[in-house]
Amino acid sequence: MDTNRHSFLFRLTSQFIKYFALGLFGLAIAYVLSAIFGSSHIAMNLLPFVFYWVIFRCGLILLCLILTTVILESVR
């Protein structure tokens, strides 16, 4: 029985999705904790930077990677 049925690109994409979701979850926890402890002004100043670099750029790369994986796996 072949236990390694998925391609390397599929495994890479699934790992990237997992860590992207964990990163978003960590950012949400950090934002809630900063609001609880009264330092939400720092989080508000960092929010545009985090949104542009982390969420937008990594999300765009993830979307392209998912689309490439779907196309290549459907051809395979």
Instruction: Give the whole-angstrom CA distance, residue 23 versus residue 64.
Output: 18
Full pLDDT tens readout for the chain, 76 residues: 456 677 888 888 999 999 999 988 988 888 888 888 887 777 778 778 877 877 888 889 999 999 998 898 888 7
- Closest C-alpha among 10, 23, 12 to residue 72: 10
| Contact between 69 and 10 (Cβ < 8 Å) | yes
| Residue 11 to residue 24: CA distance in whole angstroms | 20
pTM score, two decimals? 0.76
